[in-house]
Amino acid sequence: MLLLRRSFLRTACALSLTAWAASSAFAQQAFPTEVEAALARAKVPRDSVTMLVADADGVRPPRLAWRSQVQVNPASIMKLVTTYAALDMLGPAYSWSTPVYIDGTVSNGVLNGNLYIKGQGDPKLVLERAWLLLRRVQGLGITTVSGDIVLDRSAFENTIENDPGAFDGEPLRPYNASPDALLVNFKSVNMIFTPERGSQQARVSYEPPLASVSMQPTVALAPGECGDWRAAIKPDFSDPNRIRFTGALPAACGEKSWAVAYADPRTYGLRAMGGLWAEMGGRVGGQMREGRVPAGLRPAFEFGSPPLAEVVRDINKYSNNVMAQQLFLTIGLTQKNRGSFEASRSALGQWWRDRIGTGEAPPVFDNGSGLSREERISAAALGKMLQVAWRSPVMPELVSSLPATGVDGTLRKRALRSGGAAHLKTGSLRDSAGVAGYVHGASGRRYVLVAIANGENAGAARAAFDALVDWASQDN
């Protein structure tokens, strides 16, 4: 039955593509007036955009198909492909396991040997979950490790690591964090500044605490408006062994928080897990270090992640780049037994050919997150995938993971003027902007919509794309 169903879906999509081609001249002439006007106001040329609006069931000609065969840089819209492929291949209930190993005996709270933690790609080993993992260790009766605490990051190849500032010159932005087999808290530090007016200082707390890093406990308060408070405190993150501030926080700001990527991402996991372990009262006789789990050692327990459906929701609602790359690499690890971008590109390419078909030019994959200048996809190809996804058993999980217009995620502040509803993934880079997903028509029909602009003025096209979504929703 599954093979017959997939064959039917491919046939339906092929018929849909034939209809698109036959109606392309008509569709290009039927450019919505509201969209045309918005593009003109924004000074975005028609030839800078690609747009598609078609029935989700794929059996009717599209309402609009403009340059839909042209491959473009989709920015974060590429996360749609990564997340649907993962849901389709791995299933919504898939979860990651982080096994913990004890190499030695436990007596009177002391592990006489080494403790090993092996990362296997969990995208959501955030601060509170890392704490729970270490609490499980303490639940085994261990408060002191006489040997070393060893982090095994070997499931992903070292070639995935990159210069965090290489993409856009912003190495302190958490969205530039590299994936990691043992990704702890997105390799970021959240600093919370709490003014204490009596002392004319603001207390600074750090989440997580980082072992062997001097972290300035207070910053001076200053009079005046809040303004650019980050610049006012004059941070210095250049030394991985020290975080300091030479300026002052304007008192008018009140409590503020700021998440930054740690200056030495390679050692972040060691410092974060070491800092958490010490904060929990744990001690280490040896050192925190990287290494591999000895062959034949069996795990004392395995720490499970949230299910894939929950992870996909975080990725798409909030456009989390490093989580998307973790998922992309997991596809390569599970399908090709290799945690590399090369293996993941091969696995995704094979999945696309088998599941979506060869009627359209396949996407160009890079890291699966859209934080790339290399990734490409056409509106026709993405539209076809969205139609296949609409008929699939994992459709509810995919659609619910997308930001809802005017409700949540990256579309929380972009409500439809028509009062309609849509679930859309957004994308934005310096020279790429767009939306793609599903629009709920007033007639009760559902549409797939893809709208992407490439070029120097791409961001200015957002108003036109909002108008397109409004137009698509008004079908009665």
Alpha carbons 72 and 431: distance in angstroms, whole number:
11
Q: Which residue has the tokens 């859209």?
A: 370
Structural tokens at position 277? 């372990």
Alpha-carbon distances of 418 from 36, 421, 438, 441, 473, rounded to whole Å? 18, 9, 16, 11, 8
Residue 27 has pLDDT above 70, yes or no: no
| pLDDT, tens digit, 9 for 90 and up, residues 90-115 | 999 999 999 999 999 999 999 999 99
| pLDDT, tens digit, 9 for 90 and up, residues 66-86 | 999 999 999 999 999 999 999
| pLDDT, tens digit, 9 for 90 and up, residues 362-375 | 999 999 999 999 99
CA 156, 157, 159 angle in degrees (round to 5)? 130
The pLDDT confidence band at residue 359, using thresholds 50, 70 and 90, is: confident
pTM, full prediction: 0.91
- Complete edge-to-edge strand list for the sheet that includes strand 49-55: 64-66, 49-55, 446-454, 432-440, 421-429
Which residue, among 215, 208, 218, has the nearest Cα to 278 in the 3D structure?
208
| pLDDT, tens digit, 9 for 90 and up, residues 32-46 | 999 999 999 999 999
Round the CA-based radius of gyration of the chain to a whole number and report it.
Answer: 25
**473, amino acid identity:** S
**150, amino acid identity:** V
| Domains of the chain (ranges, CATH numbers) | 2-93+308-473 (3.40.710.10), 96-305 (no CATH)
Contact 475, 445 (CB under 8 A): yes
The pLDDT confidence band at residue 14, using thresholds 50, 70 and 90, is: very low
Alpha-carbon distances of 81 from 360, 362, 458, rounded to whole Å? 15, 11, 22
Residue 476: the pLDDT is 75
